C-alpha cells in the first residue's frame, strides 16, 4: 500500500508539472496581473484541457500524500520526490523539447541529491 501511494504521488506530480507546462505554453506568456487580468486568465484556464488535467493530477497526488502521511513518516516519500527532479528534467527535454544543457542537468542532480539527503535522520 505504501509503495502504491508513493507511485501515485510521484506519477501525479510528474504528470501535473508536464501537463501544466504544456498547457501554459499553449496559453502564452501571462502579462497582466491586475484583478481583471487574473480573472480573465482563470476563465481561459478553465477551458484549457492540459491545465485542467495537470491540476487534477496534482490534486490526486496531494490526496495520496495525505493518505501516505497517515500510515508512514514523511521521509518515506522523499526518495521518489528526489528522483522526480531528474525524471521531469528528462521529460522537459524529450516531450516539451526544452534545451537542457549541462548546467540544468548538474543543477537538477544537485537538487535531487540534496533532497534525498533529507530522508536521513
Partner 1 sequence: MRDSRRLRIKTLFFALIAVCTNVFGNYFLSLGVREPHSSYLDVFSSPWMFAGILLLAIWLVSQLSLLSWADLSYVLPVTASSYVLTALVGALLCNEYVSTVHWVGIVLIFTGVIVVGQTSPQTVPVHSEADE
- Applying CB under 8 A, the residues found at the interface with partner 1 are 17-18, 20-21, 24-25, 27-33, 38, 41-42, 45, 51, 55, 85, 88-89, 91-93, 96-101, 103-104, 106-111, 113-118, 120-121
C-alpha cell at 85: 527532479
- Residue 1 or 117: the one with the smaller Cβ distance to partner 1 is 117
- Residue 4 or 71: the one with the smaller Cβ distance to partner 1 is 71
Q: How far is CA 59 from CA 7, 8, 12, 44, 64, in A?
A: 14, 11, 8, 20, 9
Instruction: Tell me the closest approach of the beta carbon of residue 34 to partner 1, in angstroms.
Output: 12
Amino acid at each position: 500500500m505504501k509503495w502504491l501511494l508513493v507511485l501515485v504521488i510521484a506519477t501525479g506530480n510528474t504528470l501535473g508539472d508536464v501537463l501544466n507546462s504544456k498547457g501554459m505554453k499553449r496559453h502564452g506568456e501571462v502579462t497582466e496581473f491586475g484583478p481583471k487580468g487574473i480573472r480573465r486568465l482563470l476563465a481561459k484556464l478553465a477551458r484549457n484541457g492540459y491545465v485542467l488535467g495537470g491540476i487534477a493530477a496534482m490534486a490526486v497526488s496531494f490526496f495520496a500524500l495525505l493518505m501516505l502521511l497517515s500510515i508512514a513518516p514523511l521521509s518515506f516519500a522523499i526518495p521518489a520526490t528526489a528522483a522526480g527532479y531528474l525524471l521531469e528534467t528528462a521529460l522537459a527535454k524529450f516531450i516539451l523539447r526544452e534545451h537542457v544543457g549541462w548546467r540544468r542537468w548538474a543543477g537538477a542532480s544537485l537538487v535531487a541529491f540534496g533532497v534525498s539527503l533529507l530522508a536521513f535522520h
